[in-house]
Amino acid sequence: MRFDAIVIGGGQAGCEATARLLDASLKVCLISAGLTMEDENTDPWRENRAMAQRGATVLRGDRAVSAVLEAGKVLSVRTVNLDDEPLEAALFILATGKYFSRGLLSDMEHIYEPVFGADVDYIPGRSHWYDQDFSAPQPFLSFGVKTDERGRVLIGGKSIGNLYATGDILARDAAEADWAQIMNDYAGK
C-alpha cells in the first residue's frame, strides 16, 4: 500500500504531524499503538479519530516493527497486523515517544530504537541512566534519537533523506526539523 507520508506514533506529536501533512493535502497513514501517557488535556484516541475523519488512514492498535531502507532513504515499513503488506511512502515521520510508549527499548546495557535502528544519544551502561535522587533531573529522560542539523534521523551516523523525528523520541540536544523545511524537502523528493 502506498501513501505520500507515514507517521509512526499516534500520540500528541504524531497527531500534530499528521494534521500538518493533511493540511498540505497529502495522503497520510498514521500508525498508532495507543501507548500514550494521557493527561487531562489530551485524549489520543479522540485525536486519532479526528485524523481519520479528516481522511488519514489510521491503523489503531498497530505498531511498526521493521523498515526497508535503500540508498539512504526509507522505502517502506511493516506493522504487526499487516505483516505481509509493506507500507510505502515518500516521507516518514518518527513520533513513537520514549520508553513508556516503546519508542525506545532497552536491555541491561543498551537503549535502542526498534523500528529503524536509528542512532540513539545515550551513555551505555545503565548505572549512568539515573540520578539516585528521584526529584533530581534524570539523564534517561534526555536520551533519544539523534538527528542532523536539518532534523533528519541519523542511522549509523548517516542522515536518512526522508525520515524525520518529532516529539519525545528526540534526544534533548537533537535538532527538530521545521515544517517548511520538511515540505520543501518533500516537494523536491
Partner 1 sequence: MKEFDVIVVGGGITGAATARDCAMRGLSTLLIERSDICDGASGRNHGLLHSGARYAVTDKEGAEECIRENRILRRIASNCVEPTGGLFITLPGDSLEYQENFVRCCRDAGIDAVPISPKEALRLEPAVNPELIGAVKVPDASVDPFRLTDANIIDAMQHGATILKFHTVTGFVRNNGRVCGVRVTKPGVIRSQEIRARMVVLAAGIWTAGLIREAGINIGMLPSKGALVIFGHRVAGMVINRCRKPSNADILVPGDVVSVLGTTSDKVPFEGIDDMRATPEEVDLLLREGVSLVPALSHTRIIRAYAGVRPLVMADSDGDGRSVSRGIVVLDHEQRDGVPGLITITGGKLTTCRLMAEMVTDAVCAKLGVKAVCETALRPLPGSGKAHKDDEEVPYFKRAAIGRHGTEVSRMDFDLGHEIICECEQVTRAEIKYAVKTLGVRNISDLRRHTRIGMGTCQGSFCIKKVAAVLAEELGEPLREKEFIDEYLQERWKGITPVFWGDSLREAEYMQRTHKDEI
The CB density around residue 106, as the number of other CB atoms within 10 Å, is: 15
By CB under 8 A, name the one of 25, 41, 53, 132 that touches partner 1.
132
Query: Which region among 4-12, 63-71, 127-135, 148-156 touches partner 1 (by CB under 8 A)?
Result: 127-135
Q: Is 177 helix (H, G, I), strand (E, B) or coil?
A: coil
Q: Which of the residues 41 through 100 are near partner 1 (CB under 8 A)?
A: 98-100
34: contact with partner 1 by CB under 8 A? no
- Which residue, 41 or 135, is less far from partner 1 as judged by CB? 135
Among 25, 127, 156, 187, binds partner 1 (CB under 8 A): 127
Tally Cβ neighbours within 10 Å of residue 154. 19
C-alpha cell at 76: 517502506
Given 70, 84, 133, 149, the residue binding partner 1 (CB under 8 A):
133
At residue 113's C-alpha, the angle toward residues 110 and 116, to 5°, is 135
β-pairing, 111-112 vs 105-106, is antiparallel
Place of cell 489510521: 58
Tell me the window of 72-80, 83-91, 126-134, 156-164 that interacts with partner 1 (CB under 8 A). 126-134
| Part in contact with partner 1 (CB under 8 A); list of ranges 9-17, 73-81, 114-122, 125-133 | 125-133
Query: Of residues 141, 173, 178, 184, which one binds partner 1 by CB under 8 A?
Result: 141
Output the nine-digit C-alpha cell for 48: 486519532
Whole-angstrom Cα distance, residue 62 to residue 81? 6
Radius of gyration for the chain, computed over Cα atoms and rounded to the nearest angstrom: 16
The CA angle 128-131-132, to the nearest 5 degrees, is: 120
Least distance from partner 1 to the Cβ atom of residue 167, Å: 14
- Return residues touching partner 1 (CB under 8 A): 37, 98-100, 102, 105-109, 126-127, 129-130, 132-135, 137-138, 140-141
